Structure 1
Amino acid sequence: MKAVPPAGVFITFEGGEGAGKSTQVARLARHLRERSGREVVSTREPGGSARAEEIREALLAGLAKPYGPFAEALLFTAARIDHLDRLIRPALRRGEIVLCDRFADSTRAYQGAAGGLDARTVRALERVAVGETRPDLTLILDLPPEAGLARARARAGEGAPDRFEAEALGFHARLRAGFRAIAEAEPDRCALIDAAHEPDAVEAEIRAVVEARLPSLFRNATESRHDAA
């Protein structure tokens, strides 16, 4: 009889500009591959599939900005639907761990809390796109917007800031408040991570949260090693 794969695990990373999400996604992916014995898929939003990556280019270039936050939210939603259908849901059905740099909470925070789009509209779009595919754990990397923007500028070097990095400080302050409000409203799903520390310290905090919130990832791997012995 063919073995039934374990349930997939969906972990998302959220936070403002320069919070270090991409770095921490890569570090956690490496840790989980070593410790869980599971396949790990790292992806991002907007993006993660060919069509969604095309939409990403348009969004970060600011092509939708003149049409307002609702138009941007629609494009993010279109990219998310394709991403879910082509990458995230198939990986979860195979029992893999999916790590995603941004997901639906970014639409709540960027177009909603910071951009002024009505929360009911954001929730309606989320219901259509996401359905039952909710993260098992969301890690919200939190730091003052001034620090995050300084990191983003240093990372970009001489390059021009993207659509969202170029926003005024007030936008980024609202963005941070929006993410913190999400963490407060959904503590069972979300963990607020202090991203102001050095990457090694942030990584250690993330590992501790993942091991406390999702112990079965590591317990199953330990049991498999014991059985093999």
Structure 2
Amino acid sequence: MFITFEGTDGSGKTSVIKAMVRELEEKGRNGCVLTREPGGNRISEAIRNVILDERFTEMDERTEALLYAAARRQHIVETINPALSAGKLVLCDRFVDSSIVYQGAGRSVGTDEIAEMNRFATDGLTPDLTIFLDIDPELGLERIRKNRQDEVNRLDHEKMSFYQTVHDAYLKLAAGDSRRIVTVDASRPLEEVILEVKGILKKHAPEFFA
């Protein structure tokens, strides 16, 4: 089963995913692959470094979108598909939805254009379930400022209007695909969010979480 986690910056995706992995470990379920985008293997991580490098401020919007799609293709071929073929559960931090909202809407490349590009890159692979952690962008970015432990990257220099556009695009995606995308209010305390996500996964993936 292929489950993705989406949300604007500061929504708590990484913390929630790690909590789900701990839940599986406590249950003695070892058939889980935790991965992220862009990244997940040597080539995709190298592309990630190029995308996020602060020095590359001149990067064209379509170049950025193509790099994300290229990293995703390698990620699928080398990491995701082999795990799914082996009957494993794949938990992924971001997938195509992120490209649609960040590059398609945020960068104004076009959501339909990004979706079409990624249909080619993914060969039609779609998550079985997507958890959308919904948070107001201002609150999310304030959380990052207070708790940041990782490095600053190229995308951290965007204006608030960019993140608001991305958030609005996420809401539109979630409304248009409510069977796959489950929206969770991520503005609440982390413990409450984790508890709700556990309940969702027990319902949708009982073979792993029940």
TM-score normalised by structure 1 residue count:
0.86
Query: What is the percentage of aligned positions where both structures have the same residue?
Result: 35
Q: Give a deviation string over 1:68-95, Cα, whole Å, max 9, x none.
A: 2211010001100111111111000000
Matched residues, number: 210
Between the aligned partners of 1:62 and 1:69, the Cα distance in structure 2 is 15
Structure 1 residue runs without a partner (length 5+)? 1-8, 220-229
Aligned to 1:224: none
Q: Give a deviation string over 1:105-160, Cα, whole Å, max 9, x none.
A: 00001001111112222012111111232101100111111111111122336x76
Which segment is superposed worse, 26-35 or 39-48? 26-35
Query: One-letter code of the match for 2:103?
Result: Q
Q: Which runs of 4+ in 1 moved over 4 A?
A: 62-65
Q: Give the drift of 1:64.
A: 5.3
Which segment is superposed worse, 23-32 or 181-190? 23-32
Aligned to 2:101: 109
Q: Secondary structure at the match of 1:13?
A: strand
Between the aligned partners of 1:36 and 1:193, the Cα distance in structure 2 is 26
Distance 1:100 1:160, change over 3 A: closer
Is the 8 Å Cα contact of residues 36 and 218 (structure 1) preserved in structure 2? Answer: no
Query: One-letter code of the match for 2:178?
Result: P
User: Of residues 4, 21, 39 in structure 2, which corresponds to 1:12?
Assistant: 4
Between the aligned partners of 1:50 and 1:138, the Cα distance in structure 2 is 25
User: Of residues 178, 182, 185 in structure 2, which corresponds to 1:194?
Assistant: 185
Between the aligned partners of 2:188 and 2:41, the Cα distance in structure 1 is 32
TM-score normalised by structure 2 residue count:
0.93
Structure 2 residue runs without a partner (length 5+)? none
1:212 and 2:173 are equivalent in the alignment = no
Between the aligned partners of 1:30 and 1:137, the Cα distance in structure 2 is 19
**1:135-174 alignment to 2 at 5 Å?**
135-156=127-148, 161-174=152-165
What's the RMSD between the two structures over aligned residues? 1.8
Aligned to 2:34: 42
User: Of residues 56, 61, 76 in structure 2, which corresponds to 1:84?
Assistant: 76
Q: Secondary structure at the match of 2:140?
A: helix
